Copies of this chain bind each other. A is one copy, B any other.
Amino acid sequence: MKIHVINPNTSAGMTEAIRRSALAAASSGTEIFCSCLERGPSYASCAYDNVVVSYELLEKVRREAATADYDAYIVASFADPGLDAMREVVDKPVVGIAEAAIHFAAFLGYRFSIINSMPRLEKIFMDEVKAAGAGQRLAAICLPEGDVDAFLQGEETAKRILVDTARKTIRQDGAEVILLGGGMLSGYADFLSEAVGVPVLDGVKCAVRLAESLAALGLSTSKVKTFAQPDYAKY
């Protein structure tokens, strides 16, 4: 099985981290193809960025469609940009990493929290939670206290901040599962789970397993109505 994991920004470093997560999660028979965009922001953190990355993502996928033989696609940004459009354009299953993690969380605990890295992402994350029907299971979208740039001051500082933030949302908001909402944080899932004693989800891993599952069961997007192929003749 071949899965195309697309990092919808231009950061080579983030693409490499995503690849590592994807490879760690993949079943033995699965080939992971990991790519990123050629144009657009180095990472996306607002609605405008999502407009651009959605466009670049879809153009890339359409461009490659003729020769592609992937069994499933993963969009590897926690903002899940362009998913509905992806489902129209390709015939194979499409999975976003945030929606994968949110749906997985339902099997692991009563309430979950998303650790956020930028205040302005709150609306984007909340829209995703509502779209996934998980509003009633959301404990909080919580920001680390203090300066978010502290994350850039080294791994030890980042770990300390994450542990403090996770412990606070477990204690105050009743979180029983943690989702790491963004690329800057996603490498810390295993560490954090170990440190605070609750499941911490890496959306890339959830998405890889979900994409494999759909493809293995021969399931793909329903094409009878909402996600039928676009009418390209209008262009």
Contact = CB atoms under 8 A, between A and B. Distances in A.
Interface of A: 25, 27-29, 40-43, 45-52, 54-55, 58, 82, 84-85, 87-89, 93-95, 99, 103-104, 106-110, 119-120, 122-123, 130, 132-137, 170, 174, 176-177, 197-199, 201, 205-206, 209-210, 212-214, 216-217, 219-228, 230-231, 234-235
Nearest to A84: B47
A228 B48 CA distance: 10
B51 A226 contact: no
Contacts of A119: 174, 225
A153 B225 CA distance: 24
Copies in the complex: 6
Contacts of A88: 46-48
A203 to B, nearest CB: 11
A82 B52 CA distance: 10
Contacts of A93: 107-108
Contact of A220 (B103, B199, B210): B199
